[in-house]
Structure 1
Amino acid sequence: MAINNPSVFLLMINGQIEGANFPEYDDLYCKYCFVYGHDWAPTSGLEEGISQITSKGRESPHRLVWNFPLEITFKSTNPFGWPQVVVSVYGPDVFGNDVVRGYGAMHIPFTPGQHTRTIPMFVPESTSRLQKFTSWLLGRRPEYTDPKVVAQGEGREVTRVRSQGFVTLSFNIITKDMKRLGYDTTPTDGAHTHTASATLAAGEQLYSQ
């Protein structure tokens, strides 16, 4: 009975953080973590990780390559709170201190198959020239105490930020038992079939508050 009438569906993610484009910086590494709703639970894989330090090469002077693997499986009863991946990039400043070079987040693709995504990155900004100078002098740039705030949106409206760089990720997505629970991740013209994207869109505003 459990096989014929599943109570949960699975989302399997296998991919990598391919690399980044930060024209002004070099010798960078990245961290990642997943943010997801209350109905979701990881069943295997890693929820967070940190990459090696990489430098720009002669053949691609503007490109940083990590090829850092992502692999995790989630189970859930509801697409609401669909997982997001948060990426933060760090590197040395002129004094040799590790400082944040960018934050970014995106929802995991909900359509099975291969996907490539580019995340625009940003950094928090000091609100005054004095704070900017003090941050530079002390080697302490403004940064979030918890990078997950990037995906949750709470308090983001009062944070001053500046765009800076891009990170590219690739994914292989597999879902299991979503159709048996009434969700279809493929486009459909029918009015009687719930789609995961429609449920996600309907609930995402509430989830991010």
Structure 2
Amino acid sequence: MDDRRATRVSLLSGILSGGLFLLLFLILKWSFFVAAPLAILSWAGVYLLTKPVRKIGNTAIDDLDQGERLAEIYRDGQAALENLATGYQRIAQAQIAGKVWELHSVGKDIMNYLANHPQALSKSEHFIHYYMGSGNRILTNYLALKESGVSPDKLARVEDKVQESMTYLLDIFSRQRDSYQENTIMDLEAESELLEKTVKLSKGGKE
């Protein structure tokens, strides 16, 4: 629940419980020691009834083993997906833009699957944090370098590496998506030298 929603729920609960206390204590002349506990119980009841259930897809977080951790992984994946969409809108180079859009499309399929199968999030953590994260780091660094006015030769060299890495990532994304349909999850623990080099290069560093 976000802070504003929590404040509204708490305020509504307070108003209703306060109204009940005034009715019982001042109007009906009930004992304070009866009216006050009933008002407190009514506040707790209204709060619990109006409090939204946090979910991943259609599954309540509280119903999942390590639900908070899975929710954090899911939020990270959704944030990475949104960053790809935002970065895509800033890309002028057609080939890179096309690869980023494909990455976003496959990534959306993956996150839709995870929304419906949140138990798969734990084994997908490395993919989300490393591979989806790498895609965003490469894209962010590339756009920053491009907008800094780097020389055309340097930019062309970086764009070649970015395209190569995006092609590699697209293959990883596609295999990850397909693995869910086969009831298996890929072992992606091995770090990618290509991605690491591209991240450094798109920052403006040396190969």
TM bucket, shorter chain: under 0.3
Q: Max radius of gyration: which structure?
A: 2
Give the TM-score normalised by structure 1. 0.21
More helix by share: 2
> What is the TM-score normalised by the length of structure 2?
0.21
Q: Which has the higher contact order (CA 8 A, sep 6+)?
A: 1
Q: As a proportion of its length, which structure holds more strand?
A: 1
